[in-house]
Amino acid sequence: MSGDRRKEIVRHLSEDDLDRLLAESTDEKLTERLIFIKRVYKGATLEDAADDVGRSSATGTRWARRWNKGGLGLLMPNFGGGRPPKLGEDQRELLLELLRDGQPWKKQEIQHLINEEFDVEFHPVYLSTFLEDLGLSYAIPRTKHPSRPENAEEILDERVADAFDEGTDEPHNQREGDEEEGWVVDKEIRTDGGTILGFLDTSHLQPWDNSQRLYTVDDPYITRPLVKLDEPAVGFYALSGESVIQFPANQEKERICGCFEGIREQNPGQRILLVLDNFSSHVCEYTRRRAHQLGIDLVFLPVGSPDLNPIEQVWKSLKWEASPLIVESAAEYRALLTELFKQLTTQLSFAVSWIDEHLGGYLQKLR
């Protein structure tokens, strides 16, 4: 389809056949669809042709697609005479196709679509049940980064496998073009006591964040002191070993390396595999070299793939747990977050699917 939304239309019927069917039609739905097809035959855009019969451009796009695929038989659903109480199997399959083409949808939009395409109107309460039976998901859609590769999970699998590969003496964090000096593990660092795997991420948590629904008798307000947390929270969620939350002044490379040092201090004696995103201060040579000196091998997520980091779910739960609580100072809030983070990260449930999908046969290598 070009920029003016014109579309090649299959001429299943001649214009004379269309005119004959229009003259004979006593069905309002058939008439408007035939008029739409005739207008597109004449060179109208889908938007203009749909507007001529009082329909949206999205409806015009669906009609054109169905006409091209199956002619009048597919363009005109079989309503079975009158207003049926529910959709049959064929109509459900067609509805799923329409929903898949236009997803995501609001509930009101689906109600309008069902009424427009099938002449059926569900009660709003039953509609939720019907959509659940149809297999639809009801959740906040994740934003997909335009640079995210289609095979992000496969890329992560390869990087995890590479991190566990013991067949090379080359520093794992070193890249082509890096300086040769400095890629030596600090003498006081031991990494022969097993392997710790954990996930690192930064979150900007504030005492006024509200994530939890609460019952109230009167207006649902919470009066909070004017407290603000200036520092980001940097969390390390360990599958084995000790999880750590820290509050550096900023996310510059020196501060991130300071967080690495804090993680190493709490997890002595083991090699650490650290899964993290591609933030600039994470991927720079300075950070990668300092991580190597600390015996920390970095496993970078594919670009635009924050959903592949289980600590995202920890942050979500942390905000939910902290949201109804009132604190009097930033120091009290940091202490609260530290305690809640410690409690939450004792659970492996946040990473169960990640473990199943990406750790495979490496579990025995973890401490």
Which domain does 360 fall in, by range? 152-365
Report the amino acid identity of residue 257.
C
Strand order in the sheet with 195-203: 244-246, 233-238, 195-203, 271-276, 296-300
In a domain, 4, yes or no: no
Looking at the fold, whether 124 and 173 belong to one and the same domain comes out as: no
In a domain, 251, yes or no: yes
pLDDT tens digits along 132-168: 888 888 877 766 677 888 899 999 999 999 998 866 6
Looking at the fold, whether 171 and 275 belong to one and the same domain comes out as: yes
pLDDT tens digits along 203-259: 999 998 887 777 777 777 777 888 999 999 999 999 989 999 999 999 999 999 999
Looking at the fold, whether 112 and 240 belong to one and the same domain comes out as: no
Looking at the fold, whether 158 and 127 belong to one and the same domain comes out as: no
**Count of domains forming the chain:** 3
In a domain, 5, yes or no: no
In a domain, 145, yes or no: no
Which residues fall within 8 angstroms of residue 134, CB to CB, at 6 or more apart? 92, 95, 96
Looking at the fold, whether 254 and 159 belong to one and the same domain comes out as: yes
Residue 71 has pLDDT above 80, yes or no: yes
Output the domain CATH number for residue 173: 3.30.420.10
Q: The dihedral of CA 299, 302, 306, 309: what is its sign?
A: negative
- Measuring CA to CA, how many Å separate 287 from each of 75, 173, 267, 273? 60, 9, 19, 14
Looking at the fold, whether 306 and 182 belong to one and the same domain comes out as: yes
C-alpha–C-alpha distance, residues 102 and 130, integer Å: 18
Percentage above 70 pLDDT, the chain: 93
Looking at the fold, whether 159 and 56 belong to one and the same domain comes out as: no
In a domain, 1, yes or no: no
End of a domain among 48, 75, 102? 75
In a domain, 9, yes or no: no
In a domain, 177, yes or no: yes
| Beta strands per DSSP E along the chain | 195-203, 233-238, 244-246, 271-276, 296-300
pLDDT tens digits along 320-366: 999 888 899 999 999 999 999 999 999 999 999 999 999 977 887 77
Looking at the fold, whether 99 and 229 belong to one and the same domain comes out as: no
C-alpha–C-alpha distance, residues 65 and 108, integer Å: 23
Looking at the fold, whether 64 and 113 belong to one and the same domain comes out as: no
Looking at the fold, whether 130 and 156 belong to one and the same domain comes out as: no
Percentage above 90 pLDDT, the chain: 47
Contact call for residues 299 and 157 (beta carbons, < 8 A): no
Looking at the fold, whether 310 and 210 belong to one and the same domain comes out as: yes
Looking at the fold, whether 322 and 255 belong to one and the same domain comes out as: yes
C-alpha–C-alpha distance, residues 234 and 139, integer Å: 27
C-alpha–C-alpha distance, residues 244 and 337, integer Å: 11
